[in-house]
Structure 1
């Protein structure tokens, strides 16, 4: 599918899903690979796992696509040699290798004043609760880029236990640029929001990325996305706005804002 001058809201929602689906497919493949790797080791270690994760995500960071950061974050206490561990790599500024990729310098000592418990962050909490993929943001990512970011994460399981997450970051501005190519063709004012009602992009400049779209009934309409049950979102709000799920991306298109 390609964007045209005029599209129905359903076609716009489908195009949004089509734009993001390749990122989701990449993350799902990473999850499967990490699960297989971890299943081979009765006592996995960060020292052994990190080179594997680095090689796994490197090609996505070297290319011109949406992904600007990626990796694996471990459930505290799972890895034998690192209670808290982020194996995360970034494309862009900093001390990079020959391919333009650098590792995130994360603080893993709980006694340090710079330490942050990542299990309290949305990109961890929601996949842990739902057992499914989640899109967080846009938000200012003070851990990695200090810029507006969208983070997509999905749980990694071994023997039925969640042992961490794999995921990817994308600059919100880059994602917004991709999505704005199509939402203008919906024939009405509209916004793309995440499961929390946070704006990813909108046709109206006053609806800034990262802001909450406050409409009567919207929180209830988006509840299935928060419960990892996309596809069922198709609602008309009390104010007459329509809400459509964008496939299984955990995003929704709100038309008539």
Structure 2
């Protein structure tokens, strides 16, 4: 049996509205990431004007802004800058990363990045680092268990930082999955068909569809390419609606 044009239009309008609302929920987090990126780029410009390479101690200048963003944006559980290997003069790798504790305090992430005995010394293969580096665009990575920072199921939102056109690392923010789901699941459940959200890799970021659990992979189109077109479409019986402005796709059965 066919669907009347009027009902199809109503469904499409609802999908576009939900995609826009999901985008709005994450846009505030990306604002935090963008502010960190801007602060970091400005810091590196000042260091370059002094005729030297940046060092890890220079990144302490970012801390007041990072602390403020952690307190101000309730979805953000961690925020900071992650340097590209070889960027800093005194250390091979560095995370200037701050996070909120269970009691609301702001504390640094202290990691051993010695490649001789640290499993976390090479973070360049993680999606939150690799996607911005390889595409030049912002990314949503996860959800995944964040053993690096919190041991929580999390999403990481990130953007590339560039110095004179060269990739210098990423500005990023963490969002606990439970907080993201609390914000978007009511929106997904308001739709007339089972719906879930996927990132550029096809990983499910949140789901109101029991056939697609959060953290699983959705097989189908090149979601990364779809995000660059930002146009709704149909693939293998799935309705695909990019969340305009943020790198997530709304997928409806």
TM range (shorter): 0.7 to 0.9
Q: How many residues were matched structurally?
A: 238
**Pairing partner for 2:251 from 229, 237, 254:** 254
Q: Which runs of no fewer than 5 residues in structure 2 stay unpaired?
A: 1-10
| CA deviation profile, 1:91-140 (whole Å, cap 9, x unmatched) | 124xx8xx601111111211124443011111111111111111100011
Aligned partner of 1:111 among 99, 110, 116: 116
What residue is the counterpart of 1:223 in the other structure?
224
Contact 2:85–2:92 (CA under 8 A) maintained in structure 1: yes
Shift of 1:82: 1.6
> Where does residue 171 of structure 1 map in the other structure?
176
Alignment-derived partner of residue 48 in structure 1: 58
> C-alpha separation between the residues in 2 aligned to 1:143 and 1:107?
11
| Distance apart, 1:60 and its partner CA | 2.1
Structure 1 residues 115 and 180: alpha-carbon distance in aligned structure 2, compared to 1, 3 A threshold: closer
TM-score, length-normalised on structure 2? 0.88
* CA distance, structure 2, for counterparts of residue 169 and residue 223 of structure 1: 21
Q: Distance in 1 between matches of 2:229 and 2:203?
A: 16
Question: Could you say if the C-alpha distance between residues 133 and 64 of structure 1 is closer, same or farther in structure 2, counting changes exceeding 3 Å?
Answer: closer
Cα distance per residue 1:205-229 (max 9 Å; x no partner): 4532111124xxx233x1315xx62
Task: Deviation per CA, 1:179-220: give whole Å up to 9, x if none.
Answer: 012111111111111111111212124532111124xxx233
Match of 1:61 among 60, 70, 84: 70
Once the two structures are superposed, residues 135-186 of structure 1 have per-residue CA deviations (whole angstroms, 9 ceiling, x without a partner) of: 1000111101111110011111111111111110000111011001211111
CA distance in 2, matches of 1:148, 1:113: 22
Given that 1:230 and 1:248 are in contact with CA atoms closer than 8 Å, whether structure 2 keeps it comes out as no
Q: Which residue of 1 aligns with 2:27?
A: 21
SS in 2 for 1:192: strand
The 5 Å alignment of 1:94-173 reads 100-173=105-178
**1:57-84 Cα distance to aligned partner (Å, 9 max, x none):** 1122224611000101111111112221
* Matched residue, 2:8: none
Per-residue deviation, 1:9: 0.7
With over 3 angstroms needed to count, the CA separation of the structure-2 counterparts of 1:147 and 1:252, relative to structure 1, is same
Q: Is the 8 A contact 1:230 1:250 kept in 2?
A: no
Following TM superposition, by how much is the alpha carbon of 1:32 offset from its aligned partner in structure 2, in angstroms? 1.4
* CA distance in structure 1 between the partners assigned to 2:65 and 2:243 by the alignment: 28
Match of 1:91 among 94, 100, 104: 100
Corresponding residue for residue 3 of structure 1: none
Deviates more, 1:200-209 or 1:156-165: 200-209
What residue ranges of structure 1 are gaps of 5+ in the alignment? 1-5
Instruction: Compute the RMSD of aligned alpha carbons.
Output: 1.8
Within 1, Cα distance between the matches of 2:22 and 2:31?
A: 15
